[in-house]
Structure 1
Amino acid sequence: MNMGGGKSFHFAPRVPGESFKESLARHERFLADALGLKPGMVVADFGCGVGGPLLEIARYSGARIVGINSNAYQLGRARRFVDEADLSHLAEFLHCDFLNVDAPDESFDAIYDIEATCHAPDKVSIFGEVFRLLKPGACFAGYEYCLTDRFDAHDPHHLKIKADIQLGGSLLEIADQQTVDDALRSVGFEVLETRDLSIQTGPSIPWYQPLVGSGLSLASFRSSRFGRWVTHNSLKTLETLHIAPQGTVRVSETLNLCAAAMAEAGKLGIFTPMYFSHARKPE
């Protein structure tokens, strides 16, 4: 989720001198490299949103990407972005539930997700569907919302932060890392690698920095605490004048609650939006 808007609604750590947009693209290309994507492959993007990562990965790898999403409005925007980028030869979309994808068994050469499978009701169901759709020997890679080992289930402050992220992010639950690993194995995957990419070696800017706000860029301002306050109060005015639909302010309040909770969770190290999983379906 990128609280600052745009085409890619997710987080990424940054290296010094790297822009916010560049960090998102690098984070997306990391998955393409992990999966060895190349021209001629047909790849599924589980929970593709408005298609920002899909465009970057298709352009970077030359693979044909099939975006899967149950939200018709987001898919409409994604198709427009694809047309504007002149990449329709490398992108298509399926309007369906990613727990019940309208595609035959063994349809894809690879599958990835970016902060999307966290919205599934349970990990076994979603990873089971991924497993069904992959060809034998093919791989899955993704970024998952997870609680870290620092999360204390007996700490009221930690529990409040978790509840706020779940409410604001429309999540039934936030899994711990072991639950993700166990679910992948239980459906038949060979787990090749799992690690928390929020833990960086060398100089870096943490993933939650845009939610705290620093620097002078438009993206930093919009997603910062003060920027969210400005946006929220602007929406109040627009809703009062009946320019914005009724309920817009309530949605803004919920998103702000989530953003504040994520920033606090990131500072405490109790949550990561980028638990990286790389798994292979056996031959």
Structure 2
Amino acid sequence: MPADARSESRVSNYTKFWQKDSAKDGEADKANRLDQYTDLVNGYYDGATELYEYGWGNSFHFCRFFKGEAFLQAIARHEHYLASMTGLRPGMRVLDVGCGVGGPAREIARFSDANIVGINNNEFQVLRARQKTAQAGLSDKVSFVKGNFMELAEQFGENSFDAVYAIEATCHAPTFEGVYGEVFKVLKPGGVFGVYEWCMTDEWDPSNPKHKEIAHGIEVGDGIAEMRTLHAARKALKTVGFEILHEEDLAARPDAVPWYYPLEGDVFKAQTVWDMFTVLRMSTIGKIFTQNSVWGLEKIGLVPKGTYDVGESLKVAGDALVAGGQSKLFTPMALWVVRKPAN
């Protein structure tokens, strides 16, 4: 995929949106990130996409694990579960909000036989999504468009989709009300929206320096202008007019294998032999190898300048996500299934 699909200036400027010290990262910094969220998110994914693909695969999200369950199997099951809860059926026209490189869209199309349209504001990811989908022979079922999910109605028209889903993507929006409101508009009356949301839990206290440090690490390491709470997401869904059908923090289930285990980098926790390689990439040795490789590629111009710094931010994110998961301060899988009233 040509490197000129990415913006080197956005990648190199990405880390400048945050103060390194969470205690010094104030309201002015947050306001600047929210105002420039498009450049922030694009800079992050221009730099992080290939690192994600190398370390995690084509589906950029977390999932629950059962004992002995392979990593890719668990990732697919998580996608199937959302499709099932959202009621996707053959022939439905479905929107994937913030589709990444299209891994979930392809899997959900196979699972449900629905027709999926993915929207993404990052041109590099859209190009990769189209290429991978063509290689998979799914271009007749899955398509991708570049666009802003804060302007869905303008791009697609109101009442244009039978169902909508989002997997760990709408946390990048400047406001929950804004993105959920756009989803509401493009859904047909009676249509269902299913979302896995990134949220700080009710245990999180922004006045606690340690809690703030965890949220700050997640923000800077994952391209998020502002981490918000379960309460904020729930309130926004109701405010824009949705009826809540199901609500659950799946990370709160008493799973024997925690959702964040691959990030811990402990190969002895791998559920299968093959998954040891995935976990190894998240280990200290794996991160050193990856970052040294990225440093070399950046020096010879094969990846945009600033990619190494984005990789360093991903290391910060990994530590913060594990800390947030262990302390139950953060969830990447707050599930809401909501309906637009029929009339």
Match of 2:327 among 265, 268, 283: 268
- Which blocks of at least 5 consecutive residues in structure 1 are unaligned? none
**1:10 maps to what in 2?**
61
How many residue pairs get aligned? The number is 282
Q: 1:107 to 1:229 in 2, by over 3 A?
A: same
- Which blocks of at least 5 consecutive residues in structure 2 are unaligned? 1-48, 268-272
- Which is further off, 235-244 or 23-32? 235-244
**1:72 maps to what in 2?**
123
Identity of aligned residues (%): 43
1:28-177 equivalences under 5 Å are: 28-101=79-152, 102-177=155-230
Q: CA RMSD, aligned part only? A: 1.6
**1:235 maps to what in 2?**
294
Match of 1:211 among 227, 248, 263: 263
- The SS at the match of 1:145 is strand
| Inter-partner Cα distance in structure 2 for 1:154 and 1:64 | 45
Q: Which structure's residues are more often helix, by fraction? A: 2
Tell me the amino acid that sits aligned with residue 167 of structure 2: I
- The SS at the match of 1:198 is helix
Deviations 1:112-140 (A, max 9, x none): 00000000000100000000000000100
The normalised TM-score by structure 2 is 0.79
| Inter-partner Cα distance in structure 1 for 2:110 and 2:257 | 26
| Inter-partner Cα distance in structure 2 for 1:149 and 1:229 | 35
Deviations 1:213-271 (A, max 9, x none): 22352111112343222211232344345554432211111111111111111111100
| Inter-partner Cα distance in structure 2 for 1:275 and 1:205 | 18
- The SS at the match of 2:75 is helix
- The SS at the match of 1:89 is coil
- The SS at the match of 1:124 is helix
- Which is further off, 98-107 or 227-236? 227-236
- The SS at the match of 2:227 is coil
| Inter-partner Cα distance in structure 1 for 2:121 and 2:286 | 30
- Name segments (4+ residues, structure 1) moved above 3 Å: 237-245
| Inter-partner Cα distance in structure 2 for 1:243 and 1:116 | 27
Q: 1:108 to 1:219 in 2, by over 3 A?
A: same
Tell me the amino acid that sits aligned with residue 257 of structure 2: I
Confirm whether residue 25 of structure 1 aligns to residue 84 of structure 2.
Answer: no
| Inter-partner Cα distance in structure 2 for 1:266 and 1:19 | 20
Q: 1:129 to 1:226 in 2, by over 3 A?
A: same
Tell me the amino acid that sits aligned with residue 335 of structure 2: F
The normalised TM-score by structure 1 is 0.95
